Amino acid sequence: MKIFGNLKLNGGMNLLYDILRCRGYFITQRDMRFVSSSEYSFYETLGAVEDMSDNLILECYNAQVFSDSKHSHHYMDALREISQSRQSDHLTMNVMQFLSLGAATTNDVKEAYACFDLVEDDEATDQFIVDMYLDAIKARPSKEAFFQNALKVITGTRKSDFLQSVLDREMMDISTSYGVLRCSENATDEEIIKSYESLILSHDFTKVQMAVINKAILNVGKVRTSALILTFISDMNQVEINVDDAYEFFGLSRSDDDESIITIASIRINDTPDQIIEIRRALKAIANDKNSTAIENYLQAGSVNTKAQGGNKELEPRGLHNIGNTCYLNSLLQYYFSIKPLREAILEFESSDQKESLSNEAIQKKRLGSLPVTISNVQKGQEFIRQLSILFQELISSKDSVVIPTKELAYLALSTRDQGFEFLENLSANQNTGNVSEDIKKEVKSQASLIEVPVNMTVDVMEVAVTPTRSPADTLVNELSDHELESSEATKSPSVSQKRESEINLVLFGRQQDVTECIENVLFQIEAAYKPERFDESGEQIDFIKRLFYGTTVQTIQPLVPDTVTRDVNSKRREKTEWFSNLLVNVADGPRDIYDALDSYFQDEILELSEGKIKRSLAVSNLPSLLQIQVQRVQYDAVLQEAFKSEALLQYDEIIYLDRYMAENMKDTKMQQKRSEVQSWRAEITKLKARKKSLLEIKHNNMSFKDSLIVTRNWLNNNKDSLLKDENVSVSERTISVIDAEITKITKELTYINETIEDLETKINTQFADPSCQKLGYKIQAVFIHSGKVDFGHYWTYIKDFKTDTWRKYNDEKIDIVDRQEVFDVDMNRKPVPTPYYLVFVKEDLVDEFIAPLCRVVEPDEMVVDTDVDGEIDVKGEMDVDGETDASLNTEQGPLSEVIDDISIGDDNNNETTILHPEKLDEISKS
């Protein structure tokens, strides 16, 4: 040290600093003098020092990950801890970005290994990890995405080409799946199975290659929801399931009938399609346990074939395929199709002069629901109508028994007014004209099933990264080996159609709406697409949708205390008029009838305000053509602090009269007296029922008070002689007589209560029977049913065909004619109880003009021969869009047999239809 001296020593240190690059770097402005030893260890892990700037810390992290990627999760832990200790927004944002791009923490890696009952330090081979992964998938198919993510994390830490090849196989997309199976997307289920069998019989594939092929057919089966393919897969992969666990899986017991079990299974498949394999396994176990042919047939048939078969006739209505959590949407679409004015308006939209302009001047005036309408709302609404028109055309003319709605239609129907239209705006050059229907039809043509999105995945739909395709379909089979996958590493950027697909799928799977939300979305979009006929005083747009579905109520606030100055109770009387598309009635504890529910809705209320007591009254000032009533079934249990669905019975009739609820009748003294009397009678019934409930209440001994008295009296009578002789027991003849008297008293009171309730209910039912109170009649037209619980379930709808006086049940793909009893008499013994959720009534004088659920068009080369009631045969031409038929025939083209190829004969209800050849025409004509 003395040789160099202080100067030479300092110079040597400077040189050393320069060589080690320990000075001259960017440093942080934070005070780093008090870094703890534990914090310092994180800097040491990254090869950094505590005073480095944030950017240099990031450089150290990137360098470590690049040179030692297998331990990248340790470096991520260090970077995250440093970002937190520094409270650096810059570092925190980068940490979040790295994690979103797939970086893992030590805890992520630990949890990933734990998924397969492993730890990171285990000397498990790649093949063993894959075997554990496949076993996990086989046991819990619905958790496939979860296990895939775990395998992805492990693959990132092990940097194994073999694991990467397996991961690529497991994340195979549907188009690649078809390619692996050597099939096109148009192939039938039978052809796909035959192709699979031919493929595996013609080659000697390795275990990994077979896994690729099996994954491909599983993908196709799940996307198609094909019962045939899924049954084929189940037969190949027998997995035993305990029958008790199977019943518990559905929340059922052995006492439940086959129909209920099948209904619950269908609901679960619709609501959780990712569990379809597990659902079918549980159903198979139950079928074996019950030796049920019906359940076995369901497992074999599964979803309905879309090709018309057997009894499916040309003039019968078409069902709608369920493309996701959309059974309520299918019910709604069938309901809208049955409304003739709406159907015609949708079909004629493109040629109509009522299409809203996209000019700023026109849009600025539009207000719907008191809110302004944007150009995007109008574009979205017009595209919705185009999509709806396509569906209506198919329901009218399709030869298939089932029509498949496009996912674009479902997205537009379910998305709210705030959800953008951008995913449709950049499709093609059509964006300048606003016409994107053709582009949509080319790219996504009525697909039968949605691509699955894991429920726990968070996705930014406009930033979705497409999984790199490491090889085309042929390469996946031909070049796969037990240890590696030779393939291209090129990463594709998401296309417009892929972004749109993600957006649609997230809306369809990410939100579980009910009918009323969907109705609001649909009506808003139709109104947004059309020009207003006029505006009301508040600036609200008036159009044909308003006239069809919307009415107005007037709310009156009436002070009960006279004004201190004017001494007039009417001086502060206030009124407010509001639009409504449905009336919300509460079933409460039920049972109750529709008038009881409506009376509660329109009942006067006395409220205590700062200005004193006031009376709040509600009445209808204007009725719509179609009155929609929502039944409030979601209730809240204050004890359990959770929502539940009320299954209380709501009774309704074929026709209801609304005169008593009209504002114009509020000043009718006679009408108001009738309403007041009904209100007092209902209050009396409520008191009587409460008293009856207390008398019949089951006590801790599992008996009512009356039953306890009867049991006691009988025991005393049976042991009277011995008890009277027992000096230790104070029982006399009077004791028994007192008990008898009390039993008689309770019996008489119960009889009085029952008779009084019956008498009061008769008075209520006949109170408005006078013709003066029955001028505004509405006939029931549709009943929406919900079966399930508050957080899941299935919808279907009953729709009345007034021309044939029949009810049809529209249950997705299946449409049946049902008895009136099924619509009006709810089976309260069925579990879950199918409960009316939404009721639709049509004005009595508009029934024939407005309601036409059966609307089918026979192809030009076909003709209907219809037998009239009087037995004569009418030959009819092509059925018009409105359901009517053209009675004239153009015979100038030649003989009738040359004009048509087939004719059909049926009764007026189209119950039987026989296809005849032209040569039989003369014989029929003569007869």
Q: What is the pLDDT of residues 79-123, one digit of tens each?
A: 988 888 888 888 888 888 787 777 888 888 888 888 888 887 767
> What DSSP letter does each residue of 22-62 carry, written as one string?
-SSS-B-SS--TT--HHHHHHHHHHT--TTB-HHHHHHHHH
Is the CB of residue 777 less than 8 Å from the CB of residue 844?
A: yes
pLDDT grade for 780, boundaries at 50, 70 and 90 = very high
**Pairwise CA distance, residues 404 & 333, whole Å:** 12
Say yes or no to pLDDT of 632 above 70: yes
pLDDT of residue 423: 47
More confident residue, 863 or 795: 795
Return the DSSP state at 436.
Answer: -
In a domain, 305, yes or no: no
Cα separation of the two ends of the chain? 131
pLDDT of residue 210: 79
Q: Are β-strands 902-906 and 862-867 bridged in parallel, bridged antiparallel, or unpaired?
A: parallel
Say yes or no to pLDDT of 441 above 50: no
Percentages helix, strand, coil for the chain (3-state, rounded to 5) are 50, 15, 35
Residue among 60, 115, 183, 327 flagged as catalytic:
327
H helix runs in 272-304, sequence order: 276-290, 293-301
In a domain, 543, yes or no: no
**Pairwise CA distance, residues 757 & 512, whole Å:** 42
6 token code pair: 């202080």
Total structural domains within the chain: 1
Q: What is the pLDDT of residues 231-284, one digit of tens each?
A: 777 666 666 678 888 888 887 888 888 877 888 887 777 666 657 777 878 888
Percent of the chain with pLDDT over 70: 71
pLDDT of residue 508: 44
**Pairwise CA distance, residues 431 & 859, whole Å:** 34
Closest CA to 260 of 234, 283, 235: 283
831 token code pair: 């579990």
* Least-confidence region, from 34-43, 512-521, 673-682: 512-521
In a domain, 718, yes or no: yes
Can you state the angle between helices 327-337 and 515-529, rounded to 10 degrees? 50
Identify any residues that bridge with 736 across adjacent strands, giving them in sequence order. none
SS3 category, 187: coil
Mean per-residue pLDDT for 838-844? 95
Q: What is the pLDDT of residues 50-63, one digit of tens each?
A: 888 888 889 899 88
**Pairwise CA distance, residues 81 & 85, whole Å:** 6
SS3 category, 295: helix
Question: Which of 7-21, 300-314, 565-579 shows the highest mean pLDDT?
Answer: 565-579
Mean per-residue pLDDT for 738-757? 93
Helix and strand totals (H; E) in the chain? 37, 26
Is the CB of residue 882 less than 8 Å from the CB of residue 340?
A: yes
Average confidence score pLDDT of the chain: 75
Percent of the chain with pLDDT over 90: 21
Q: Is 888 left (phi over 0), alpha (psi -120 to 50) or beta?
A: beta
Closest CA to 306 of 180, 403, 449: 403
In a domain, 461, yes or no: no
**Pairwise CA distance, residues 637 & 504, whole Å:** 35
**Pairwise CA distance, residues 401 & 551, whole Å:** 36
**Pairwise CA distance, residues 804 & 800, whole Å:** 9
Instruction: Tell me the one-letter amino acid at 355.
Output: K
In a domain, 408, yes or no: no
Known catalytic residue at 794: yes
SS3 labels along 358-385: CCHHHHHHCEECCEECCHHHHHHHHHHH
Around Cβ 83, how many Cβ atoms within 10 Å? 22
35 token code pair: 């870094």
In a domain, 722, yes or no: yes
SS3 category, 480: coil
SS3 category, 606: strand
pLDDT grade for 620, boundaries at 50, 70 and 90 = very high
Say yes or no to pLDDT of 187 above 90: no
Closest CA to 645 of 659, 631, 663, 655: 631
pLDDT of residue 239: 63
How many residues would you count in the chain?
A: 927
**Pairwise CA distance, residues 754 & 764, whole Å:** 15
Maximal C-alpha separation, the chain = 135
Q: Is 823 left (phi over 0), alpha (psi -120 to 50) or beta?
A: alpha
Residue among 73, 321, 786, 794 flagged as catalytic:
794
pLDDT grade for 435, boundaries at 50, 70 and 90 = very low
Is the CB of residue 343 less than 8 Å from the CB of residue 337?
A: yes
pLDDT of residue 271: 63
Burial 371-381 (b: 16+ CB within 10 A, else e): eebbbbbbbbb
Q: What is the pLDDT of residues 400-429, one digit of tens each?
A: 888 888 888 888 888 777 765 554 444 333
Is the CB of residue 325 less than 8 Å from the CB of residue 508?
A: yes
Long-range CB pairs of 886-891 (<8 Å, 24+ gap) are: 889/863
Say yes or no to pLDDT of 894 above 50: no
Return the DSSP state at 322.
Answer: -
Mean per-residue pLDDT for 152-170? 77
pLDDT grade for 181, boundaries at 50, 70 and 90 = confident
Is the sign of the CA dihedral 431, 398, 347, 797 positive or negative? negative
In a domain, 717, yes or no: yes
* Least-confidence region, from 34-38, 827-831, 843-847: 827-831
pLDDT of residue 890: 38
pLDDT of residue 444: 32
Is the CB of residue 420 less than 8 Å from the CB of residue 506?
A: no
pLDDT of residue 489: 34
User: Range of 707's domain?
Assistant: 693-767
In a domain, 653, yes or no: no
Question: Which of 41-55, 302-316, 471-485 shows the highest mean pLDDT?
Answer: 41-55
